[in-house]
Amino acid sequence: MIKINFEVKGLNEAINDVKKLLYAVDRGLVLLGDATVEKMRENIKKSAHRYSSGRLGNSIKRYIGHTGKIFWVGVGKISELPKYWAVCEWGGYIPPANLGYFEETGKPISALRGKGTERWIHTGNRKDFLLKPKTPIRPLRYIFHTVQWVRRIWSGYWASYVSKIQVKGLPFLPTSAASFGFPWLEKSKR
Amino acid sequence: MANYFQQARNVELSTIYYLEQQINASWSNVNVVKSFTQVYDKPLPVVCIQLDSAARDRLEIGSNTLDNTYTITIDIFARSDGQRIDLADFIIDKLKDNWVYYIHSHKSGSPTELERTADGKVQLLSIIEDRKLEILPNPEEKDRFRHLITISVKKS
């Protein structure tokens, strides 16, 4: 009977590398989540025509969690966004007509239709002015543009770092989690 | 100012021209517009076609040529849910074929009219979104049956 003793070299090292990689990707995802919130807020801000209270932007937050063993990062929760989030994204009318006033001029002025930049304060008070929006809100596409940005950044991240992966123990395992840095994200956090 | 329009504007106008012809050939009373606010001045159904953004990458490392891709949005405002689905399906079916790219310019002596010269094709790269839009629980009449198609195209 022939007895063969063999030893697998480098397997533990490879497993450790996988663990490091997963940790680095998780950390990268969290950073990307933070940067996505900033980017989405920036997209809303630059598209706003009137002075904005920042309510929509401030309601966009980053969430993390686990579903089973899968770690996830999410940005924005519909239940926590103001109900007009979709109108801002895709455009349209915000019904119904409501009672309130413009911050400086008070009364709505028909000559300023589509040109005014003041903020409308909704009060619901019958002593204030009735505003019936006559011009639809144009689509800001703040979510769409942010998603496009995330896709570009995430694919760039893989394109930059996958080429640096060295073969060691098992094929195509990265040797160092340190190679999975996010210089552009670290910069945005400063 | 150049007499001829630039590529981004030509891509947008060529797409509008192509879809308008296709829709008019098979549908009646569908308004095709190129500005969001015009939608609310026209009777339903309305199709609004707009150039949303452009991405410009180098064709290859060291090249001075840019590889431009354009994102175009097609907003459908229908009279019913069935019409919304039919119109969206019809448009998607037409988009799968590439369409003629025209260089546009103002007609001499009549600046409101456009002249077109065919110069290649507009190529569909991908359909990014094809979805029903629900913007509010009780929307205005125009916003009730909305659909959005977002595509990525380039001049070939």
ipTM, two decimals, is 0.84
| Choice between A139 and B57, residue whose per-residue pLDDT is larger | A139
What's the pTM value of the predicted model, to 2 decimals?
A: 0.77
The residues with which A92 forms a beta bridge, in sequence order, are A137
Tell me, yes or no, if A23 comes closer than 8 A to chain B by beta carbon. no
Tens-digit pLDDT profile for residues A130-170 = 777 777 888 999 999 999 888 888 777 666 654 444 434 33
| A36-55 per-residue burial string, b: 16 or more CB within 10 A, e: under 16 | bbbbbbebbeeebeeeeeee
Cα–Cα distance measured from residue A171 to residue A24, given in angstroms and rounded to the nearest whole number:
19
Tell me, yes or no, if A132 comes closer than 8 A to chain B by beta carbon. no
Which amino acid type is present at position A114? G
Residues in A closer than 8 angstroms to B150, CB to CB, are: 144
Residue A159 confidence (pLDDT): 62
Which residue's entry shows tokens 């431009």?
A: B68
Please give the residue of chain B at the shortest CA–CA distance from A92: B143
Q: Residue B152: CB partners within 8 Å, gap ≥ 6?
A: B69, B70, B71, B72, B124, B125, B126, B128
Tell me, yes or no, if A115 comes closer than 8 A to chain B by beta carbon. no
Say if strands A62-67 and B110-133 run parallel, antiparallel, or are unpaired. unpaired
Which amino acid type is present at position B49? I
**How close does chain B come to A159, measured CA to CA in Å?**
15
Q: Residue A17: CB partners within 8 Å, gap ≥ 6?
A: A168, A169, A173, A174, A175, A176, A177
What average pLDDT does this structure show over B15-30? 94
CB contact under 8 A, B142 and A92: yes
- Dihedral of the alpha carbons of A21, A23, A29, A35, in degrees to the nearest 10: -110
- Dihedral of the alpha carbons of B76, B81, B83, B89, in degrees to the nearest 10: 70
In chain A, which ranges are E strands? 62-67, 70-75, 98-102, 120-122, 129-131
Answer for the pair A178, A21: CB distance below 8 angstroms, yes or no: no
Residues in A closer than 8 angstroms to B142, CB to CB, are: 92-93, 136
CB contact under 8 A, B148 and A90: yes
Which residues numbered 69-98 in A keep a CB inside 8 Å of some CB on B? 83-84, 86-87, 90-95
> What residue ranges define each of the domains in chain B, with the CATH number in brackets?
7-155 (3.30.2000.10)
